[in-house]
């Protein structure tokens, strides 16, 4: 799972903007944003670079937090 949608919304950017910057189709980026498909790690790093965030900020942790 990823948080690309949330980061785009926080920055006021659109999926179309990201698709243009990545050289990908809108449909491909929409699949990433909707978590129907996960980007390859290289693409995830490129997305993080374009959005000026750490790649970890785009990922949802699967660890259970113990209290």
Other beta carbons within 10 Å of 2: 18
What does the pLDDT read at residue 66? 59
Structural domain count, the chain: 1
pLDDT in tens, the chain (67 residues): 889 999 999 999 999 999 999 999 999 999 999 999 999 999 999 999 999 999 999 987 666 665 6
Residue 18 within any structural domain of the chain: yes
Range of the domain at 31: 4-58
What does the pLDDT read at residue 60? 77
Other beta carbons within 10 Å of 62: 6
Residue 51 within any structural domain of the chain: yes
What does the pLDDT read at residue 1? 83
Identify the three-state secondary structure at position 1.
coil
What does the pLDDT read at residue 52? 97
Q: Are 30 and 15 in contact (CB under 8 A)?
A: yes
Q: Are 5 and 43 in contact (CB under 8 A)?
A: no
């Amino acid at each position: 799972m990823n948080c690309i949608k949330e980061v785009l919304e926080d920055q006021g950017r659109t999926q179309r903007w990201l698709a243009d910057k990545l050289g990908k189709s809108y449909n491909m980026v929409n699949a990433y944003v909707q978590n129907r498909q996960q980007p390859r790690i290289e693409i995830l790093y490129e997305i993080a670079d374009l959005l000026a965030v750490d790649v970890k900020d785009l990922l949802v942790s699967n660890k259970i937090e113990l209290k």
